[in-house]
Amino acid sequence: MLTLNNVEVMYNRVILVLKGMSMVIPKGKIVALLGSNGAGKTTTLKAISGLLKSEDGEVTDGYIELYGERIEGKDAEEIVKKGIFQCMEGRRVFEHLTVEENLIVGAHTRKDRQNIKADLQKVYHYFPKLEMLKHRQAGYLSGGEQQMLAIGRGLMARPKILLLDEPSLGIAPLLVKEIFSIIKRINEEEGTTILVVEQNANIALSIAHYGYIMENGRIVMDGPVEKLLENEDVKEFYLGMGDKGRKNYREVKSYKRRKRWL
Amino acid sequence: MEFFLQMLVTGIVVGSVYALVALGFVLIYKSSDAINFAQGEFLLVGTYVCLTLVASYNIPFIAALLITLAFSAILGFAVEKVVLRPFIGKPVISMIMATIGLSSILAGIVHIIWGHETRVYPPIFSETPIRLGKVIITPVYAWSFVIVIAWLILLSAFFKYSRLGIAMRATADDQQAALSMGISVKMVFAVAWAIAAIVSSVGGVLLGNINGVNSSLSMIGLKVLPVAILGGLDSIQGAIIGGLIIGIIESMTGGYLDPLVGGGLKEVVPFIILVLILMVKPYGLFGKKEIERV
């Protein structure tokens, strides 16, 4: 459905962040994109959603295709209209708007205004907490509630593909579990394709169908989740597991094992 | 007592016009963080256009007003597109400087076209004063008040309920997040400028009807800045209440204190009040506080 082929992204025409990034996101699946800090995960999402422009970034090579149509370099609003919606890192709710107004803004590009009421109910069905808070100013919500709002806002756009940038960031572990189980439900019940970027590999792989691992601006490994979970490198570097179960950090010797993909 | 009420009514009417013009500042500040120093010149252009239509072309006032509003909207769009678009993403200070330049240019154009002597609107509202108990209100004041209130209600509803209005508030909160919702931020800016130009020309036409028209009318722009700051630069209710406060204080000072000191105090008092209030409430009366989650 969505294909990135050999995409190169430069910021300010100098800093090369993505160096030939390729991935395929199949329809109706959850795809996890994992990687350490600065690997280029967020940049990848912004390249897809067209938000690069507002940060002086640019796709300088390769292409991004949605159903065979080139979308790289298009304006963000056009891409939202085509059905790709990004929930940005750090939630970015509109603090001075109420919860319900935030959700309505999510539906900004929708043409079928009469269905919005029904969709509000749908969001409240996934996130019952939001319904209780709907007249509250969004800035005063807790981190978890704001993340729910950010995802709910995404649902309001009825996207074909939902891009989630670190939905676990700064949220209590228990809530993270809840949020991810809702993401899974959204995928199953609405058929929304989801690309989730995470540092928390454990939780992301627990709901994803397919995983990509990114380092230094390119994909270094990919495969169905079951396969990734068996891979020794992934276990060691992303899941914190050694050969003998959970790793004891006292015994870590960093030279003991090299990543085989380097 | 009669005198007091009379001054109060004058203050409320003038204050409500200030409130309307202050809304222009607020809108532009909210959408782009810039202060528009050309607000007073928007007002000037609007009132001259309307005056010309009414006085020289004998167009009925209501029609002339509508044409003026359309003209102002186009002016606002054009200014945003030509003068300010290039400054998006640049430091705010350069945008503010650009509006100062713009104000000189507009003032110059007005001078070239309409000269500088004071002109008056032909009588549009009836001259028979309305009596409310002991207070006498001239119809032009009453109508100004009604028109301003109608506009304020219209604009509040626009921001509260309309899709574009909510999108504008969202953009004011977080531009990039608004982009990610598919909101066209450029469009939001353009609409903000258009509305700012429209409200100031309405204000200009009303003040022109009350006091006559000359180029010093653009000073209202500066006078309204304290109103906007007082209410909190980014608050719409703030602008309304700030406008009423400044209007009433101004009119009271003019009535009671000016005769004692020989005049002129009226012009200064709004700014004194401004400083005093900002010392106590730095965000203004209703300015939005940064919400910090800890």
ipTM of the complex: 0.88
Question: Residue A93 and residue B177: Cβ atoms within 8 Å?
Answer: yes
Q: Note the pLDDT tens digit of each residue in A30-51.
A: 999 999 888 999 999 999 999 9
Q: Is residue B286 part of a domain?
A: no
CATH of the domain at B177: 1.10.3470
| Residue A258 pLDDT greater than 90, yes or no | no
> Is the confidence at residue B223, as pLDDT, over 90?
no
Nearest residue in chain A measured CA to CA from B164: A108
B226 contacts: CB under 8 Å, gap ≥ 6: B242, B246, B270, B271, B273, B274
Is there a domain that residue B201 lies in?
yes
Query: Is residue B55 one of the residues assigned to a domain?
Result: yes
Q: How far is CA A14 from the centre of its chain?
A: 26
Residue B91's pLDDT band (cuts 50, 70, 90): confident
How big is the CA angle at A148 (ends A147 and A153), to the nearest 5 degrees?
A: 95
> With an 8 Å Cβ cutoff, is B236 touching chain A?
no
Average pLDDT over residues A219-247: 81
Residue B294 lies in a domain: no
Please, what's the b/e burial string for B103-129 (b: 16 or more CB within 10 A of its CB; e: otherwise)? beebbeebeeebeeeebebeebeeeee
Q: Higher confidence at residue A236 or residue B96?
A: B96
- With a cut of 90, say whether residue A104 has pLDDT above it: yes
**Is the sign of the CA dihedral A168, A171, A175, A177 positive or negative?**
positive
CB contact under 8 A, A92 and B174: yes
Q: Which of A94, A97, A165 to mutate to test the interface with B (most CBs of B within 10 A)?
A: A94
Q: Is B180 on the interface with A (CB under 8 A)?
A: yes
Q: Is residue B287 part of a domain?
A: no
Best CA proximity match to B54, nearest among B198, B211, B209 = B209
Nearest to B182 among A80, A97, A139 (CB): A80
Helix (H) or strand (E) run with residue A118 in it: helix A116-126
R_g over Cα of chain A: 19
Is the model's pLDDT at A6 over the cut of 60?
Answer: yes
pLDDT at B274: 82
Q: Does B167 touch chain A (CB under 8 A)?
A: yes
Q: Answer whether A2's CB lies under 8 Å from A48's CB.
A: yes
Distance CA A87, CA A99 (A): 16
Average pLDDT of span A207-229: 93
Residue B173 to residue A80, Cβ atoms within 8 A: no
Q: Which chain B residues are Cβ-neighbours of A165 within 8 angstroms?
A: none
pTM of full prediction above 0.90 = no
B12-33 pLDDT, tens digit each = 999 999 999 999 988 888 887 7
Structural domain includes residue B262:
yes
Q: Any residues with CB less than 8 A from the CB of A104 and at least 6 apart, and which?
A: A116, A120, A156, B163, B166
B-chain CB neighbours of A86 within 8 Å are 180
pLDDT for position A66: 95
Chain B residues whose CB is inside 8 A of the A137 CB are 291
Q: What is the pLDDT of residues B246-275, one digit of tens each?
A: 999 999 998 888 888 887 888 888 888 888
Helices (H), chain B: 2-32, 39-55, 61-79, 92-114, 139-161, 163-173, 175-180, 185-211, 219-231, 236-252, 258-261, 265-280
Q: Which of A92, A96, A137 sits opposite B177 (nearest CB)?
A: A92
Interface residues from chain A to B (CB-CB < 8 Å): 49, 51, 54, 75-77, 79-81, 85-88, 92-97, 101-102, 104-106, 108-109, 113, 137, 139-140, 142-143, 153, 157
- Which structural domain range is residue B88 located in? 2-280
- Structural domains of chain A, with CATH: 2-89+160-230 (3.40.50.300)
Confidence of residue A251 (pLDDT cuts 50, 70, 90): low
Residue B153 located in a structural domain: yes
How many structural domains comprise chain B? 1
Tell me whether B2 touches chain A (CB under 8 Å).
no
**Contact between A109 and B167 using a beta-carbon 8 Å cutoff:** no
The verdict on residue B26 lying in a domain is yes
